[in-house]
Amino acid sequence: MACGNQRTVGSPASLAGTSLHTGQPVTLTLKPAAADFGIKFRRVDLPDQPFINADVEKVQTVERATSLAEGSVKVHTVEHILSALTGMGIDNAVIEMDANEPPIGDGSSAPYVELIKSAGIVELDAPRRYLEVREAVTIETRGGSILTILPSKQFRVSVTCVGPENRITQYFDAVITPETYEKELAPARTFTFYEDIKPLLEKGLIKGGSLENAVVIRGEELMSKEPMRFINEFARHKAMDLIGDLSLCGKPILGHVIAIKPGHGPNTELTAKLKKEHKRNLQLMPNPVNVPYGDAVLDINEVMSLLPHRYPFLMVDRIVGFEGETKCRGLKNLTMNELFFQGHFPGHPVMPGVLQVEAMAQVASIVMLRQPGNASKIGYFMSADKVKFRHPVVPGDCLIIEAELVKMRGNIGQAIGRCLVNGQVVSEAELKFGLQDM
C-alpha cells in the first residue's frame, strides 16, 4: 500500500517546444510548491499571471485533449504533463506557461519525465493524502466506453484500446509506480487515424501535429518517423492519458481502474463522478461512526512497522489521518473475538479502561516516532494523568483514537489522548513517554 510524504520538484526547470493543437511556440516551466498546494497552471503571458487549478471542475472541453478554464483564462492539452507529474509521484507544483498549451514534444510524456528528473524530486514534511476507493465507481457512454474503479491498496490501470470497427485492439495492465511509469508508459506516443486528420484540421486542431510527434494509422499501415516503441503502444498511451485525466480529482488514487475504450470525455466523466462520490462519503461517513473516509494513511502492516506491539496487544488497526506534525487519529474495530472480552466480563463484555489508555499511547507513539530523528526508536510509557472513563466500550464498537503531542523535550514527550465511539468521548488521558533506541 502506498504511503509516505508529499513531494514536489526540487528547483525550476523549463521545456520549450511547439504546441500540438495551436502550433504555437511555448515554454513550460515547472516550479516547486509547498505541501497541500496541489498542481496549478499559471499563464505568465497574461496580465496578473492568473492560476488555474488542475481540477476536474475546471474541465471545459475534451475533444482530442483535456482543456481547463477559469473564466476567460484557458489551458489546453494538459493530460501529458499531469500524467507525468502523477506517474512520478509529484503532489505539488506550479506549471508556468507563456502560451495556452504545453509543448507536445515527441507525442509522449517522456520529455516531461526528463524535465521532472532534471528539476529533482523533494519530499515535503507533510503526509500524502490519498483518495482510497472503497466502493466501485462506474460510467458507461453511448460510444461504448466502460470505465470502472475498484477498491485496491495500489494504483493499477487495466486498459483495452479499441479503434473504429474494432481495429487496433490492444491491452495494457500495470500497477503504477514511478519506476513502471517511466519505463512502461511515458515513452508511448499519441496516435490518430488517417481519416480523422482532415476533420481535425477543419476544426482548427492539430496544427502542430506531424509524424515526429504522432503515429498515424492508415488502413493496416502505421506511419511514423521511427519504429513502434511497444507492440501495444496505443494502449499504453491511452493508459498514460487516463492517468493524467484522473489526476484532476486532486489526490493520488488507491484503486484499480479498468477502462474499455477510454478517452478524454469518459476519463473526465469518471474523474468527476469519483470526486463527487468521495465528497459525499466524507460527509456521510462521520455521522454514524466518525470514521474518516478515503484518506488512506497507514494500514496495519505499516502500523506494525512503526510499533513493536503484536497480537493480542496491538490496539490500533490503522491510522486514518494526520493533522500537521503533532496530531494523529487511529482506528480499532472491536469484535467479540478480542481476547480480553473473554474474561472482562463473562456475559457482559467491556473493553478494559487500561487498554483504552494503551490504545491512546500507541497512537501517540506513532506521532512521536514521526518526529525528525525518532524513526529507529521505541516509546516507553512513563505516566498517565487525569484519566477519565466516560462510557463503556463493547464488542461491535468502532473505537476512534486521537492523540496530540503537546510537548517534546529531548527524549521525553507529553501527549493528550482520547477515545471516541459514535462521536462521543468514552475516555481521555494525559500521557508521558520516554524514547529509547531499539
- What confidence tens digit (pLDDT) does each residue in 95-147 have? 999 999 999 999 999 999 999 999 999 999 888 888 888 789 999 999 899 99
The CA distance from 224 to 74, in Å, is 31
Burial 380-415 (b: 16+ CB within 10 A, else e): eeeebeebebeeebeeebbbbbbbbbeebeebebbb
Q: 54 and 66 in contact (C-beta within 8 Å)? A: no
The CA distance from 267 to 160, in Å, is 13
Q: 117 and 10 in contact (C-beta within 8 Å)? A: no
Tens-place pLDDT, residues 13-43: 999 999 987 889 999 999 999 999 999 999 9
Say whether pLDDT at 320 is over 90: no
For residue 233, give the H/E element and its range. helix 233-246
* Stronger pLDDT, 25 or 303, i.e. the higher one: 25
Say whether pLDDT at 290 is over 60: no
Give the HSE-up count for residue 340: Cα atoms under 13 Å, Cβ half-sphere.
16
Q: Which one-letter DSSP state was computed for residue 165?
A: G
pLDDT value of residue 281: 64
Counting residues of the chain whose pLDDT is more than 90, the rounded percentage is 62
Amino acid at 275: K
- Please give the average per-residue pLDDT across 61-68, as a whole number: 85
196 is annotated as contributing to ligand binding: no
Reading the block at residue 277, the C-alpha cell is 462520490
- Of the pLDDT bands very low, low, confident and very high (cuts 50, 70, 90), residue 184 is very high
Reading the block at residue 410, the C-alpha cell is 529531548
The CA distance from 253 to 259, in Å, is 15
- Judged by average pLDDT, the poorest of 47-51, 142-146, 364-368, 417-421 is 364-368
Q: Which residues are catalytic?
A: 264, 344
For the chain, the average pLDDT equals 89
Tens-place pLDDT, residues 423-432: 889 999 999 9
Task: Please choose, from the candidates 410, 360, 143, the residue with its C-alpha nearest in 3D space to the C-alpha of residue 267.
Answer: 143
The CA distance from 298 to 303, in Å, is 6
Start-end of H helices in 72-140: 79-87, 110-119
Q: 360 and 418 in contact (C-beta within 8 Å)? A: yes
- Of the pLDDT bands very low, low, confident and very high (cuts 50, 70, 90), residue 308 is confident
pLDDT value of residue 180: 97
* Stronger pLDDT, 389 or 23, i.e. the higher one: 389
237 is annotated as contributing to ligand binding: yes
- Please give the average per-residue pLDDT across 49-78, as a whole number: 92
